[in-house]
Structure 1
Amino acid sequence: MNDVKLKDLYMGLPDGEVEARDKRFQELFFDPNNKYNEIINSNEKFLIIGSKGTGKTYLSKYIVEQSPSKQTCIIVDPKNFWICKLINIDEQELTNDYISVLCKWFLLYEIANSLLNKHRWLKHLPRCKLNKLRKFMLEYNDDTFYKIVSLSTTNNQEITGNLSHGISHSDKLQTSNFQHSAGIKTSDGVSYESTRKRFFDLIDYFEQLVFDCFQINDHLLIILDDLDELKKEAGEQSENIIYNLITAAKKYNFYFNSRAKSLKIIMLLRSDILNKMQGNHPNLNKIKTSCSIDLYWLLDSTHDKWDHPLISMIFHKIRASCEPYKNRSNKELFEILFPESIDKKNPLDFLLDHSLGRPRDIVTFLNCAKKEFPERTCFSATVLKETRKIYATDFYNEMLNQASFYKSSAYSTQCLKLIAGIKRPSFSYSDIQTLYEENRTSYSEIDNLDDALHFLYELGAIGNAWKSKKGKHRTCWYYKIDAIDEVDLSQNFTIHYGLRKKFSL
């Protein structure tokens, strides 16, 4: 008889960063396709890509956990992307060259800061290169060095001023004091003076200084996490910043590796964002192919449902944390914990249908079941079916969060409201068009219905549905690797299972 209750099972947490704090983290970590070895043992690989919730942060925490004691590890949190704060997006038109140099400066700053923290005594020796680096950092470490130094109207009336290094906000700005200042005029009659030219002049010197200071016995790992968070600070410039960070990281990784120096910059990025960026930055496809690892969990590599990577991940964590199940095989655990089909559907397919193929979805669903039915000993058909109602709200909120990189919250909410208003799981284009036209005032954020459907398809909220020639029901979902890139407006649509209970379907 099985006496282990659901409340006694540990199946992971939706937030990989939080789970990484668990003292059992190394035992709990699961890597079915050896992505850790692929990123660490390859000099070319430095991009970890995957959909939101596929384990990018989780893998980066494991990389840090496994790093040698001699290696310095730095994880750059989105809050520390000071690169956005220096751009003054509303104050001037930014060129790609400016953003490129600023991204290089950002990475060089992280490398230089690490070197100076490590060599606390050497950096004070007069003839040491680190001393030159220390002095350079002291002189040009002020945020205002990068910013606009003067704003004035065409009639020379001063408006505001983000003053350059060494000048207080109360001092009256004299243009003649800034040998490297540059003037910019805009169509609205406002002219800017900035230290941009001086900034460009110094980047090559800063770069060479960092190169010279980094020695064979220096070991540094820099991880840039949650690059999609740049959208909140940098707005439409976020894609340019991400692209230039990627190209700068590629350059520095190659430079140090080719000289047998131990520096690696790893970047974490959502695959949907990277794919979108390729339209404006064609070279990204080469970088993606040669320099990235992709965390994709829906590869059809096994015929046995209990050996699917997502189920194997759950069982791995259960074995690592539950003594009675420690020596149980995947097949045995599947038969114990998932003993029943759900409306003629096997439990694995049921869980995958309610997910976007990500660990976060499966973990969230099963933890919801555990919370609602703590005394049960298995995930029966009743348990799984009843859990859908609670899980649907989490799934809906996660989808809105994912959409925030592309669209406003109001637009995303109205798009989801639109398909909820159809009141059935599947619908045709004419069905949704009629609903939209008859209720235009309720969907004021949606200017174009076709665009809204394309957006919902890319979000995973809807898929295409049809019958094959043999009469079998077929579906196509954007998040699957074999899916078409564009929604087919001539086909019927189906609403994702994860949303249906949220929409009372």
Structure 2
Amino acid sequence: MESKKQISAISFGKSDGKNEARQPNFESLFYDGSGDYEKLKNDPLKYLIVGRKGTGKTILARYFMKKMQEEKHTYAKFIVAGDFTGEKLKNFNYNVIREEEREIFWRYLILNELTKMLVEHENGLLSRKWIGKLKDIDTNLMFNLEEMVQENVVNSNFGGSVSNHGFSVGGNSSLESKNSKKLKPATYFDQADKMMETLLKVMTRVKNKYFLFFDDLDEIKIGSLQRDSDESNMTLLSDSLYDFVVALAYINDKLLDAGSKSRVISTMRQDIVDQMQRKTKNFNKVLTDNGIKISWFSPMIKETPQNTALGKLVLHKIKVSIDSYHDMNNKALFNTVFTQAKPQKRPFSFIVNRGFGRPRDVIEYLNLIQEKFPTAESINFHMVTQVQSEYCSWFYDELQNEISILGRSEDIFNTLELIKKNGQGIFKYKTLKINLEKGDKEVKVLGLKDDLKALFKLGAIGNYHKEKGSRTATVEYSYREGTDNPDFSKEFIIHPAVQNFLSIK
């Protein structure tokens, strides 16, 4: 075997999918161990990519887009919240559109983006007539939508006006109501239907395929959606993005029924999807038939880490980065890069157990090791522990970002403070409750049980149970076992990375 290479030669990738997709070797580094790319490519019913933050939703969508762009007569476009919904929602002030009109609103916004693609790429004689008609309908829809929002603003007793630049707060609603042009919603709905009908006529007349991708819609500015000051960010996002998914399903169904191979695809965060499930009893059918759920964690991480999805992902990146490692079998290569002095000190298992079973966590940890020990030829347990504090600080920031979008986020942060003050890595609910009742008044927790449920679902805490006389304990985390509800009769254990950050032994 050739000599070992420095770990600085390995491209582990970026923790942010957008940044990884910008790398020149992105396509070669992409790993499709679970076959999600093949599902997306070969099943025209799939248009939702669902997963927790950091599981690779954006990477999968970007890779699929790049592969589609390589095909003849195929066009693809990627849209994120900042350059799509943010501007549109600001202009049309989503919060004053009636509930029954919101799905039509999203439908128009999706169709508008498809129309832009068709106008740009279709110049043939066969489609020119329909393209012109499509442009006229688009213009009328834009005008009608602005009028409908203006009417809704007046009817909602909102001061404001709609100019060519969109809605602006201010003005006198009583004066505006005298001048308001009454628009029947049916007029707008009819125009949206005409746009769909005309777009399909173009799609069935041309040989080009179109793929439109939406990503990071959870980054919509909440102020654009606010209806009630008491509504949580999660409720606002899930309600609005549910309307988006309904519109997405409608348009994709129409494209399929017309025999078009074009598709509109969107990523969607798992926690937002979970909230949508509570909204309607039929949403699970959409996820089952039209969704791809990304999951990485495997219980084999201790015994055969090189055979787990996360292990294979890392090995794939190593083989692509270093030619002399390319033909090595996975076990030999894994033992070359990750060395262990004792069975209980496995560096890779240590890394994985300090994350949520996501590629983002593993990649961030490996990049920190690489940055601190660039000339090392392998990764050992000592190196892993040397960067643990820095990693755990990053990990806690990730956790805070996820908490901030939840309802009662301030209470959940207060409960974390209570757990920190308790100072025990393993604790009972009853003990924490007693400490809360006896403790200082600075920590205000109104719903301790609900907060612990939220932290359990996030993976910040897990259930811990050890039978009397047993050497080993059973530890259950939601991201590993797939359960959202903790057992309050058992003890709780703090996630290792959170425990490290909170300085709890």
Q: Do they superpose with TM above 0.5?
A: yes
Deviation at 1:162, TM superposition (A): 2.3
CA distance in 2, matches of 1:281, 1:394: 36
Question: Residue 217 in 1 paired to residue 220 in 2?
Answer: no
Report the Cα distance in structure 1 between the residues aligned to 2:345 and 2:428, rounded to whole angstroms: 25
Cα distance change, pair 76–459 in 1 and its aligned pair in 2 (3 A)? same
Q: Quickly say closer, same or farther: Cα 1:147–1:120, change in 2 above 3 A.
A: farther
What amino acid sits opposite 2:321 in the alignment?
A: S
The range that moved more, 449-458 or 371-380, is: 371-380
Offset at 1:38?
A: 0.5
Aligned to 1:190: none
**1:428 partner letter:** K
1:400–1:412 contact (8 Å) kept in structure 2: no
**Is contact 1:54-1:359 (8 Å) kept?**
yes
Identity of aligned residues (%): 24
The residue number in structure 1 matching 2:20 is: 19
Match status 1:65 vs 2:70? no
Distance 1:177 1:272, change over 3 A: closer
Residues 479 and 440 (structure 1 numbering): CA distance in 2 closer, same or farther, change over 3 Å?
farther
1:35-72 deviations in whole A, cap 9, x for unaligned? 11101110211111111101000011100110124212
Number of residue pairs aligned between Structure 1 and Structure 2 = 483
Instruction: State the Cα distance separating 1:382 from its structure 2 match.
Output: 0.9
Contact 2:453 2:486 in 1 (8 A): yes
Native 8 Å contact 1:14 1:364 kept in 2: yes
* Alignment match of 1:94 (pick from 94, 98, 110): 98
- Mapped to 2, the partners of 1:147 and 1:29 lie a distance apart of 44
Q: 1:93 to 1:489 in 2, by over 3 A?
A: farther
Instruction: Please give the per-residue CA displacement for 1:272-291, whole angstroms capped at 9, x wherever unaligned.
Output: 22122211122111111111
User: For 2:477 and 2:281, how far apart are their aligned partners in 1?
Assistant: 25
2:323 corresponds to 1:334: no
Could you tell me how far apart the structure 1 residues matched to 2:238 and 2:440 are?
32
The one-character-per-residue Cα deviations of 1:280-307 (angstroms, maximum 9, x if unpaired) are 1221111111111111112457963212
1:316 deviates by: 0.9
Cα shift readout 1:455-498 (whole Å, capped 9, x = no counterpart) = 11111100000014772300111112x34321112210000011
CA contact (8 A) 1:10 1:322 kept: no
Offset from partner CA, 1:377-404 (integer Å, 9 cap, x none): 2221111122211110011001111223
- Cα distance in 1 for partners of 2:66, 2:97 equals 42
Which residue is equivalent to 2:459? 460
Q: Structure 1 residues 169-178 or 357-366, which shifts more?
A: 169-178
Alignment partner of 2:296: what SS? coil
* AA partner of residue 392 (structure 1): C
Distance 1:173 1:470 in 2: 77
| Alignment partners' CA distance in 2, 1:104 and 1:167 | 20
Alpha carbons of structure 1 residues 150 and 306: separation in structure 2 relative to 1, 3 Å: closer
| 1:124 Cα offset (Å) | 10
Per-residue Cα deviation, 1:96-125 (whole angstroms, up to 9, x for no partner): x21111121111111212111223576996
Contact 1:228 1:405 in 2 (8 A): no
Deviation at 1:87, TM superposition (A): 5.4
Q: Distance in 1 between matches of 2:492 and 2:180?
A: 65
TM-score by length of 1: 0.87
Which SS does the other structure have where 1:377 is aligned?
coil
State whether residues 51 and 270 of structure 2, in contact with CA within 8 Å, keep that contact through their aligned partners in structure 1: yes
Q: By how many angstroms is 1:443 displaced? A: 2.8
Which letter maps to 2:195?
Answer: F
Q: Which residue of 2 aligns with 1:188?
A: none
Is 1:305 matched with 2:311? no
**1:173 shift after superposition:** 5.0
For 1:389-431, what per-residue CA distance to the aligned partner results, in whole angstroms no more than 9, with x for missing partners?
Answer: 1110011001111223314664443333232222221111122
CA spacing shift, 1:257–1:475, aligned 2, 3 Å: same
What is the CA-CA distance between 1:29 and the residue it aligns to? 0.7
Q: Pick one of 119, 122, 146 that aligns with 1:144.
A: 146
Paired residue secondary structure (1:391): helix
Measured after TM superposition, the shift of residue 450 of structure 1 is 0.8
Alpha-carbon distance in 2 for matches of 1:387, 1:493: 26
Distance, in Å, in 2 between the alignment partners of 1:166 and 1:26 is 40
Relative to 1, partners in 2 of residues 1:408 and 1:342: Cα closer, same or farther, differing over 3 Å? farther
Distance (Å, rounded) in 2 between the aligned partners of 1:392 and 1:165? 45
76-85 or 60-69: which moved more?
Answer: 76-85
The structure in which a higher percent of residues are helix is 2
TM-score by length of 2: 0.87
SS in 1 for 2:160: coil
Gaps of 5+ in 1: 182-195
In 2 relative to 1, CA 121–4 (structure 1 residues): closer, same or farther, beyond 3 Å? same
Q: Is the 8 A contact 1:86 1:146 kept in 2?
A: no
Q: Distance in 1 between matches of 2:180 and 2:450?
A: 52
Residue identity matched to 2:330: N
1:51 alignment partner in structure 2: 52
Q: 1:73 & 1:417 partners in 2: Cα distance?
A: 47
Distance in 2 between the 1:289 and 1:224 partners? Answer: 20
Output the CA distance in 1 between the equivalents of 2:414 and 2:479: 21
Residues 78 and 230, structure 1, Cα contact 8 Å, conserved in 2: yes
- 161-170 or 300-309, which deviates more: 161-170
- Alpha-carbon distance in 2 for matches of 1:405, 1:325: 43
The answer for the alignment partner of 1:398 in structure 2 is 398
Residue identity opposite 1:8 in structure 2: A
SS of structure 1 residue aligned to 2:162: coil
Query: Is the contact between residue 116 and residue 123 of structure 1 (CA under 8 Å) also seen in structure 2?
Result: no
Residue 165 to residue 4, structure 1, CA distance change in 2 (3 Å): closer
Inter-partner Cα distance in structure 1 for 2:11 and 2:434: 47
